[in-house]
Amino acid sequence: MAFLEFTRLDERSVIEYVKSVAALSSLLKLDDEDAATEKLTVKEIGDGNLNFVFLVSNSSHSVIMKQSLPYIRCIGESWPLTKDRAYFEAMALEEQGRITPHHVPQLYHFDPTMSLIAMRYLPPPHIILRKGLIAGIQYPLLARHIAHFMANTLFFTSLLFHSTLDHKRQVAKFCGNSALCRHTEQVVFSDPYQISQYNHWTSPYLDPDAEALRHDNLLKLEIAILKSKFSEQAQALIHGDLHTSSVMVTLESTQIIDPEFAFYGPMGYDIGAFLGNLMLAFFAQDGLVDQPDHRKAYKEWILETIEDTWNLFYKNFVALWDEHRNGAGEAYLPAVYNNPEVQLLAQKRYMTELFHDSLGFGAAKMIRRIVGVAHVEDFESITDAAKRASCERKALNLAKMLLKDRTKFEGISQIVSAIRQF
Ligand code: ADP
Ligand code: SR1
Ligand code: MG
Ligand code: MG
């Protein structure tokens, strides 16, 4: 089979595909005589919402093959979604991999006709971070690694580093990912605040809570502000779906996968996605064990990780800004960069706005996971519905408060104190 037109792959045809591409055959050493006779094994391991992921291996080598179909996997063909998302994922993997090679799996091959990506397999003990958080595993390097990934990918794709001409050129490369942006506009910023066939929640427990969202005009005003920011602000190349299932971890390694939603958008959307999902993990803990006290130390570790992630992000981002103040970046005039006092003021203003954006986007991401179309395993693995609803309600109430009052907060330690109060 020549794969000259789009074909949906299955566990059999993926082998034929791999054999038909020299770069992949050579990765799996199929050109080596001994290995050529050895059987390749294939397993579809996709557990995400959108795509199909095949692990292709022989006894010594493995490769991940990820294919996008023209619809959303977890819903089915009734919800079409462009398969061109694979193109944007490949471009983002390349760009983010260039900036932070230690935190992104290497892209081996991209086939636009087949909407197919081949990338490095992240072997066990790598697991999806969300699963590690559900299991109560502490990752001592997580905050440091994520802060490094976010500070570098966001700084080096912003106007703090680019000239305005370069920035526009980069923005143009990703602006075709509009269908995925539109999907986010619907499922994050619109549907949770109106009646939608896709919304669901832990009913009947959360029926009044879901209804209250639809009648809360102040909340709807705030979400409208964030939706505009998401749609209008080409601040940096963002991952666009940086929740805890887009991160694979071991105790030593942190890898960011699945950037198919990447585009030039507001930085706070990535930071908020990560912090908001840690907050969901925090509120799920009491439902995951018989006695709330059993996860007391673990909850403290999640809070520390929230605080460290923001603080280290801040430190890294500002350090990059200082280091490159005489570079091509055109966000500020040289006179600002070279006056330490004004530079400090510029940084303080920039970071304060970014902090408030991150809180708002993080809150929006929490709300959509409780009353919107796609929920999170953190809560879904709590089998007792009343217990699950009680955990979800705490997260929802915190998120509503953050969305409305985000500009009142001056630092991440105040957020941690607020979380403790719910
Ligand atoms: P989706 O876009 O459908 O969410 P993901 O890219 O998140 O797909 O991948 C789905 C799952 O496939 C992940 O949760 C992970 O278990 C597995 N996976 C994806 N990429 C890799 C990789 N490079 N190495 C190992 N496992 C991977
Ligand atoms: C039907 S919504 C599916 C969700 O999964 C992806 O990871 C994105 O977050 C998307 O909104
Ligand atoms: Mg995913
Ligand atoms: Mg995805």
pLDDT of residue 29: 87
333 and 253 together in one domain: yes
Average pLDDT, the chain: 96
Q: Give the Å distance between the CA of 84 and the centre of ligand 4.
A: 13
> Residues 117, 122, 128, 129: what is their CA dihedral angle, to the nearest 10 degrees?
-120
Q: Per-residue pLDDT tens for 382-398?
A: 999 999 999 999 999 99
User: Any idea what the CATH number is for the domain that residue 306 is in?
Assistant: 3.90.1200.10
Q: Which of 88, 120, 152 is the last residue of a domain?
A: 120
Residues 197 and 333 in one domain: yes
Q: Which of 71, 86, 120 is the last residue of a domain?
A: 120
Domain range enclosing 226 = 127-420
Statement: residue 418 has pLDDT above 60? yes
Nearest to 233 by CA among 180, 182, 158: 158
Number of domains within the chain: 2
Q: What digits encode the pLDDT tens for the residues 157-170?
A: 999 999 999 999 99
Q: Quick one: how far is CA 184 from the chain centroid?
A: 12
- Look at residue 293 in the predicted model and tell me its pLDDT: 82
Q: Could you tell me if 116 and 144 lie in one domain?
A: no
34 has a pLDDT exceeding 60: no
Checking if the pLDDT of 13 tops 80, the result is yes
Which alpha helices (H) appear in 13-135, and where do they start and end? 13-20, 22-27, 33-37, 85-99, 129-135
Count how many Cα atoms sit within 13 Å of the Cα of residue 132 in the half-sphere of its side chain: 24
Q: What pLDDT is attached to residue 37? A: 59
Whole-number Å distance between alpha carbons of 299 and 363: 19
Predicted pLDDT at 329? 96
pLDDT of residue 403: 98
Alpha helices by DSSP H, 107-141: 129-135
Q: Residue 54 forms beta bridges with which residues?
A: 44, 65
Q: Is residue 2 part of a domain?
A: no
User: Is the domain of 182 the same as that of 263?
Assistant: yes
The answer to whether 305 and 278 are in contact (CB under 8 A) is yes
Query: Could you read off the pLDDT of 67-101 as tens digits, one per residue?
Result: 999 999 999 999 999 999 999 999 999 999 999 99
What percent of the chain has pLDDT above 70?
98
pLDDT the model gives residue 358: 99
What would the two tokens of residue 125 be?
């003990």
- Do residues 197 and 296 share a domain? yes
Q: What is the identity of the amino acid at 336?
A: V
Whether residues 156 and 197 fall in one domain: yes
Query: 376 in ligand 2 pocket by Cβ < 6 Å?
Result: no
Shared domain for 185 and 93, answered yes or no, is no
- CB of 47 closer than 6 angstroms to any ligand 1 atom: yes
Residues 57, 28: Cα–Cα separation, whole Å: 7
15 SS3 class: helix
292 pLDDT higher than 80: no
Do 204 and 287 contact (CB within 8 A), yes or no? no
Among 43, 53, 64, which residue has the most ligand 1 atoms within 8 Å of its CB, making it the best to mutate? Answer: 53
Q: Is the beta carbon of 311 within 6 A of some atom in ligand 1? A: no
Maximum alpha-carbon separation in the chain: 68
Nearest in space to 361 (alpha carbons), one of 221, 284, 249, 266: 266
Q: Is the pLDDT of residue 35 over 70?
A: no
Co-location of 196 and 318 in the same domain:
yes
Provide the CATH number for the domain around residue 115: 3.30.200.20
Number of H helices and E strands in the chain, helices first, is 17, 12
Over residues 207-244, the pLDDT tens digits come to: 999 999 999 999 999 999 999 999 999 999 999 999 99
Residue 80 shares a structural domain with residue 214: no
Over residues 276-298, mean pLDDT: 94
Residues 98 and 139 in one domain: no
Please say whether the beta carbons of 362 and 402 come within 8 A. yes
| Residue 26 Cα to ligand 2 middle (Å) | 34
ipTM: 0.99
Q: Do 80 and 158 lie in a common domain?
A: no
Q: How many CA atoms lie within 13 A of 274 on its CB side?
A: 28
Structure tokens at 166: 């370069």
